[in-house]
Amino acid sequence: NKDLVRVKGKGGLTPLHFASHNGDYVDLLAKFLLECPDSIEDLTVKGETALHIAVKNNNYQALDLLVCILRKIIKKGARKFDYKILNRKDEADNTVLHILAQRNFEPQVTFDQDIY
């Protein structure tokens, strides 16, 4: 159900956030986003997106999947996602790319510059 994907629990976590945190549930990410693409915009009380949560928990498989799905959403014409998601800052004023850089992450994920 589309509405269930966006139900917020403690800390503002949605099922998408939970699946981004835990590497055991990566397969659910695609299902959640197919059911409710707008859920990628949901924020925790700390201003985190599912992308922030994946990176902060070293769940790079989830990050790769989220970026792949985000690219598909953007290529279908939903340009509103480019700023809102990839450039979203958490409560510490960090974007996902800031966090990756702080961790000296060597990308296995490639970010398409056309979406910035």
pLDDT digits (tens, 9 = 90+) for 67-104: 888 877 767 765 565 667 888 999 999 999 899 989 88
Average pLDDT over residues 38-47: 93
Higher pLDDT, 103 or 15: 15
> What is the structure's pLDDT at 24?
84
Q: Domain limits at 64?
A: 2-110
Task: Give the separation between CA 97 and CA 51, rounded to whole angstroms.
Answer: 10
Residue 115 lies in a domain: no
Question: Any idea what the CATH number is for the domain that residue 55 is in?
Answer: 1.25.40.20
Residue 78 lies in a domain: yes
Residue 116 lies in a domain: no
Number of domains in the chain: 1
- Convert 36-75 to b/e letters by CB count within 10 Å (16 or more is b): bbebbebbbeeebbbbbbbbbeebbebbbbbbebbbebbe
pTM, full prediction? 0.83
Classified as helix, coil or strand, 88 is: coil
